């Protein structure tokens, strides 16, 4: 048996470097958020936001940016127009944060106290309702995309009936010996004489609807016995494995003990019929 090559192990230095980069990214994002948070809070104070609400104002802008980036990851398989819409929201929120930080720095550079003109103060007051509308509509876009994905996964796939149809058994025509007389039974003959005017019931074709809830049903007694007699008529005996294969080919299940019992019973019937024909 060939030995498969084992995958190359990851170097400890590479793993350590990857962890260092992740830690660095988290620290950089935390520091950047803290600096932007301080500037936006002072802009809220200058924009006449009262009391403890000044501590919530930066979350409306920078928090919207973080939520928008997560939404882009969720909607990576969404239509292009949905992704462009989310990118537009993230871009507007990022531009607003950058602009507010710039106004904060320039205003403090020109004086010891930050003062805003009427246009800037009015723009700051419009950020909260715009963020509310954008967040609600962003939730609707994400919910619609996730609902479409779940409905696509639950759609059943049709299975053609031709795959579940059992193979048709081949029947051989028994020829009478010449001269019209009865031939003496041979000791080596295993197959008995077929009974005249006796119709062997063929197993019904399997249907795709026999599977209910993903599980196959047990073979009915009529199908089980008719299949066993058909095998016995063709081969002179009923091997258990052959009977099990024929039943499973029709889309049913069967227990090994039950198949053995029916195979033995039908084999006994064939032997009794052969003995009766020989005695006659």
pLDDT value, residue 181: 46
Confidence bin at 159 (pLDDT 50/70/90): very low
Confidence bin at 109 (pLDDT 50/70/90): confident
Q: Do 231 and 269 touch, CB atoms closer than 8 A?
A: no
pLDDT digits (tens, 9 = 90+) for 67-81: 999 999 999 888 899
Angle between the N-to-C axes of helices 256-279 and 221-235, in degrees from 0 to 180, rounded to the nearest 10 = 50
Conformation bin of residue 143: beta by default, left when phi > 0, alpha when psi is -120 to 50: alpha
Asked if the model's pLDDT at residue 193 lies above 60, the reply is no
What mean pLDDT is reported for the chain? 78
Give CA–CA dist 236/186, Å, rounded: 14
pLDDT value, residue 197: 45
pLDDT value, residue 151: 66
pLDDT value, residue 187: 43
Question: pTM surpassing 0.85?
Answer: no
Choose the weakest-confidence range: 40-44, 58-62, 75-79, 165-169.
165-169
Confidence bin at 199 (pLDDT 50/70/90): very low
Task: Report, in angstroms and rounded to the nearest whole number, the Rg of the chain calculated over CA atoms.
Answer: 41
- Render 37-91 in DSSP notation, one character per residue: HHHHHHHHHHTT--GGGGGTHHHHHHHHHHHHHHHHHHTTTS-HHHHHHHHHHHH
pLDDT digits (tens, 9 = 90+) for 229-247: 888 888 878 888 888 888 8
Conformation bin of residue 81: beta by default, left when phi > 0, alpha when psi is -120 to 50: alpha
């Amino acid at each position: 048996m060939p030995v498969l090559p084992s995958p190359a192990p990851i170097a400890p230095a590479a793993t350590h470097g990857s962890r260092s980069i992740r830690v660095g990214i988290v620290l950089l994002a935390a520091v950047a958020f803290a600096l932007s948070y301080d500037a936006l809070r002072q802009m809220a104070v200058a924009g006449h936001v009262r009391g403890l609400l000044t501590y919530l104002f930066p979350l409306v802008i920078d928090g919207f940016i973080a939520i928008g980036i997560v939404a882009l990851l969720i909607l990576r398989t969404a239509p292009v127009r949905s992704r462009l819409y989310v990118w537009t929201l993230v871009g507007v929120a990022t531009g607003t944060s950058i602009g507010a930080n710039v106004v904060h720095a320039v205003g403090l550079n020109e004086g010891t106290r930050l003062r805003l003109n009427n246009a800037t103060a009015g723009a700051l007051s419009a950020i909260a309702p715009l963020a509310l509308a954008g967040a609600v509509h962003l939730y609707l876009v994400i919910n619609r995309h996730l609902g479409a994905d779940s409905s696509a996964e639950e759609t059943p796939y049709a299975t053609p009936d031709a795959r579940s149809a059992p193979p048709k058994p081949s029947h051989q025509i028994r020829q009478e010996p010449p001269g019209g007389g009865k031939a003496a039974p041979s000791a080596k003959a295993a197959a008995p004489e077929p009974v005249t005017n006796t119709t062997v019931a063929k197993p019904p074709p399997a249907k795709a609807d026999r599977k209910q809830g993903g599980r196959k049903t047990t073979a009915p007694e009529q199908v089980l016995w008719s299949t066993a007699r058909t095998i016995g008529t063709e081969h002179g005996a009923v091997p258990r494995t052959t009977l099990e294969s024929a039943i499973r080919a029709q889309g049913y299940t069967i227990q090994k003990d039950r198949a053995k019992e029916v195979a033995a019973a039908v084999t006994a019937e064939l032997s009794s019929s052969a003995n009766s024909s020989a005695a006659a």
